[in-house]
A and B are shown apart, each in its own frame.
Chain A
Amino acid sequence: MKKYTYTEKKDTRSGFGAGLLEAGKKNDQVVALCADLIGSLKMDAFIKEFPERFFQIGIAEANMMGIAAGLTIGGKIPFTGTFANFSTGRVYDQIRQSIAYSDKNVKICASHAGLTLGEDGATHQILEDIGMMKMLPGMVVINPCDYNQTKAATMAIADYHGPVYLRFGRPTVPVFTDPDQKFEIGKAWMVNEGTDVSIFATGHMVWKAIEAGEILAEEGINVEIINIHTIKPLDEEAVLKSVAKTGCVVTAEEHNRIGGLGDSIAQLLATNNPVPQEYVAVNDSFGESGTPDQLMKKYGLDTEDIIKAVKKVIKRK
């Protein structure tokens, strides 16, 4: 097992804030919009640097999506910022008609995704957003794993023309990827090469997969870990190549088991190379209040759950 270490923990939303500032410096067409959550989205630095390119929309997310779509007409590259719940479910039809179907170059940037939003509870903990967004034709769906990757992804989507959903979170998590990485949309990242099982993980679950891999290595189980930061378009080549070698799969995501990364992988395998698969995901339920760690444990998204899933799926080979 390749050794991964970290010296600090940071929130992925701060990676977004840092990436937005860089994207703004690099391209003066980049503009940002926020629906009354500047601090939560870490947009302060961009606003300070480019006040004339920032738009405070107020608590009106539907209007924010429409204004973002309009700003692209005239060449702007708008980044919208609010919680994942209000970035997707609340405004699905606005995104569908005014952004996706209209092929507008809007970057929908969504913080506080999943259970790790914590104490605010289920009203704010969206676990269906990846599914909703990936179903929209033409929408790119990205869920990076740490601060550095989120920063790199934010800069990369500014250079990509087309609608993008960028999902990140609230809690501080280990920073273990390269600070100077080049983010390639749709290109999976090989975290660890192995032979016994393929673990496809996204977002906060990547670090947990690494923790699980280390424990499993001590037991003689050699796991392959691949970071699927881009859920759509899925890096089909990387997935099929890995599965051809290992013959079984565990998917890990902070999302409902219905409609997320696991389903994307299952669909690909069903039509190409059907193999046993286990899901580490929320089992079709809403979340609740609690600390992020408590919630990840209670809803089956912990390191231990990945270990159990690996052992179970290997037996099914």
Chain B
Amino acid sequence: MTPDIDKLTKVASQVRRDIVRMVHACQSGHPGGSLGCADYLVALYFHTLKHNTKFDMDGHGEDLFFLSNGHISPVWYSVLARSGYFEASELVTFRKINTRLQGHPTTHENLPGVRIASGSLGQGMSVAIGAAVAKKLNNDSRLVFSLHGDGELQEGQVWEAAMYASHNKVDNLISTIDVNGQQIDGPTDLILSLGNLRAKWEAFGWEVLEMSGNDMTDVVRVLDLAISKTSKGKPIMILMQTMMGNGVDFMMHTHKWHGTAPNDEQLAAALGQLEETLGDY
């Protein structure tokens, strides 16, 4: 299938609008990382994943995705809604009382598309490995994808999982790290530097790919490439360079929009930079 980059880019623009509107409406949430990962998640759900939007927890015979850095829930909720898991109109309930769209994703409210709670960082890779191993036991040839923050790599459990996946040849797993270089308190280089991520993941026995996470053409290319590397005895890691806040000029080049909501004026300015392509919810 030839990906329609233009179409994917248009979806991503709408998803970015959804993100800033959701975060503005509840005056909380994490717009920065959400905007940065919009292209990846749109490419994943609208191009890469072989999945059923009629949700089934076990996901037999379909590709699965796990979001480990659960605080970027706005982008995931928007992509799930826009790809048909639930009505986009539900996005208006984000972080509000009695919502299925909790601040961090959960299975607790039975939101279609979510298979594990995340938010407390560092746990998603282990879960993704478990799901990938279950697929192997079930002779299910579909794949498991996961997304992680770069700051999240400061959690030790990630490295336990990294060791396990290569030792046990979990080669139906494609993990991606959002390398935006920012965390809540500042740049990762100042808080707790991550060092040479390629060297680290290679040393842990993973096949490592790099991707420009805000270039839709490259995202699609690298995701396709990653799939071609599965079933070869190694788990696959995509180091995805993104810009936190991507798409909204005043939210880029800073960690300040990691967990801050825009005011009315900032919302208007942000929406002015993002084309409405699928209709606002």
Tell me whether A160 is interfacial, beta carbon within 8 Å. Answer: no
Q: Is the beta-carbon distance between B127 and A70 smaller than 8 angstroms? A: yes
Nearest to A69 among chain B residues (CB) is B127
How far is A94 from B119 in the complex, measured between Cα atoms in Å? 11
Tell me whether A101 is interfacial, beta carbon within 8 Å. Answer: yes
Q: Is the beta-carbon distance between A97 and B133 smaller than 8 angstroms? A: no
Nearest to A56 among chain B residues (CB) is B168
Nearest to A61 among chain B residues (CB) is B160
Q: Is the beta-carbon distance between B107 and A70 smaller than 8 angstroms? A: no
Binds A, one of B13-21, B53-61, B201-209, B219-227: B53-61
Size bracket of the A interface: 20 to 34
Question: Which residues in chain A, 104-147, are within 8 Å of chain B measured between CB atoms?
Answer: 104
Tell me whether B164 is interfacial, beta carbon within 8 Å. Answer: yes
Given contacts A62-B160, A63-B161, A67-B164, contact A102 B134 (CB under 8 A): no
How far is A23 from B106 in the complex, measured between Cα atoms in Å? 30
Q: Is the beta-carbon distance between A94 and B130 smaller than 8 angstroms? A: no
Q: Is the beta-carbon distance between B134 and A75 smaller than 8 angstroms? A: yes
Q: Is the beta-carbon distance between A63 and B138 smaller than 8 angstroms? A: no
Given contacts A52-B137, A71-B134, contact A97 B119 (CB under 8 A): yes
Tell me whether A65 is interfacial, beta carbon within 8 Å. Answer: yes
B153 to chain A, nearest CB (A): 15
Q: Is the beta-carbon distance between A70 and B126 smaller than 8 angstroms? A: yes
B175 to chain A, nearest CB (A): 13
Q: Is the beta-carbon distance between A102 and B137 smaller than 8 angstroms? A: no
Tell me whether A236 is interfacial, beta carbon within 8 Å. Answer: no
Tell me whether B234 is interfacial, beta carbon within 8 Å. Answer: no
Q: Is the beta-carbon distance between A65 and B116 smaller than 8 angstroms? A: no
Contacts of A93 in B (CB 8 A): 120, 123
Question: Which residues in chain B, 156-200, are within 8 Å of chain A measured between CB atoms?
Answer: 156-157, 160-161, 163-164, 167-168
Q: Is the beta-carbon distance between B106 and A101 smaller than 8 angstroms? A: yes
Contacts of B161 in A (CB 8 A): 63, 66-67
Given contacts A73-B58, A97-B119, A97-B120, contact A66 B126 (CB under 8 A): yes
Tell me whether A10 is interfacial, beta carbon within 8 Å. Answer: no
Given contacts A66-B125, A94-B157, contact A58 B163 (CB under 8 A): yes
A-B pair number, CB within 8 angstroms: 120
Q: Is the beta-carbon distance between A74 and B137 smaller than 8 angstroms? A: yes
Q: Is the beta-carbon distance between A97 and B108 smaller than 8 angstroms? A: no
How far is A78 from B131 in the complex, measured between Cα atoms in Å? 12
Secondary structure of the A side of the interface?
helix
Nearest to B158 among chain A residues (CB) is A63
Q: Is the beta-carbon distance between B116 and A98 smaller than 8 angstroms? A: yes
Tell me whether B132 is interfacial, beta carbon within 8 Å. Answer: yes
Q: Is the beta-carbon distance between B116 and A74 smaller than 8 angstroms? A: no
Tell me whether B246 is interfacial, beta carbon within 8 Å. Answer: no
Contacts of A74 in B (CB 8 A): 58-60, 131, 134-135, 137-138, 140
How far is A103 from B130 in the complex, measured between Cα atoms in Å? 15
Contacts of A98 in B (CB 8 A): 116-117, 123, 126-127
Given contacts A62-B126, A66-B123, A70-B132, contact A101 B108 (CB under 8 A): yes
Tell me whether B128 is interfacial, beta carbon within 8 Å. Answer: yes
Contacts of B107 in A (CB 8 A): 101-103
Tell me whether A229 is interfacial, beta carbon within 8 Å. Answer: no
How far is A168 from B168 in the complex, measured between Cα atoms in Å? 30
Contacts of A103 in B (CB 8 A): 107-108
Most buried by A among B64, B122, B160, B163: B160
B132 to chain A, nearest CB (A): 7
Given contacts A70-B134, A73-B134, A75-B134, contact A63 B58 (CB under 8 A): no
How far is A169 from B172 in the complex, measured between Cα atoms in Å? 38
Question: Which residues in chain B, 51-75, are within 8 Å of chain A measured between CB atoms?
Answer: 57-60, 64, 66
Tell me whether B118 is interfacial, beta carbon within 8 Å. Answer: yes
Q: Is the beta-carbon distance between B164 and A71 smaller than 8 angstroms? A: no
Select which of B64, B108, B127, B137 is within 8 A of A76 by beta carbon. B137
Contacts of A71 in B (CB 8 A): 130-131, 133-134
How far is A76 from B136 in the complex, measured between Cα atoms in Å? 12
Tell me whether A310 is interfacial, beta carbon within 8 Å. Answer: no
A33 to chain B, nearest CB (A): 9
Q: Is the beta-carbon distance between A76 and B134 smaller than 8 angstroms? A: yes
Q: Is the beta-carbon distance between B157 and A66 smaller than 8 angstroms? A: yes
Tell me whether B100 is interfacial, beta carbon within 8 Å. Answer: no
How far is A9 from B126 in the complex, measured between Cα atoms in Å? 39
Contacts of B132 in A (CB 8 A): 70
Tell me whether A53 is interfacial, beta carbon within 8 Å. Answer: yes
Q: Is the beta-carbon distance between B164 and A60 smaller than 8 angstroms? A: yes
Contacts of A269 in B (CB 8 A): none
Tell me whether A38 is interfacial, beta carbon within 8 Å. Answer: no
How far is A55 from B164 in the complex, measured between Cα atoms in Å? 10
How far is A75 from B134 in the complex, measured between Cα atoms in Å? 8
A76 to chain B, nearest CB (A): 5
A-B contacts, 12 of them at CB < 8 A, read A31-B137, A58-B163, A62-B122, A62-B126, A67-B133, A73-B116, A74-B60, A74-B138, A78-B130, A94-B126, A97-B123, A102-B106
Known: A67-B126, A93-B123, A101-B107. 8 other contacts (CB 8 A): A63-B161, A67-B133, A70-B128, A73-B116, A74-B58, A74-B59, A101-B117, A102-B106
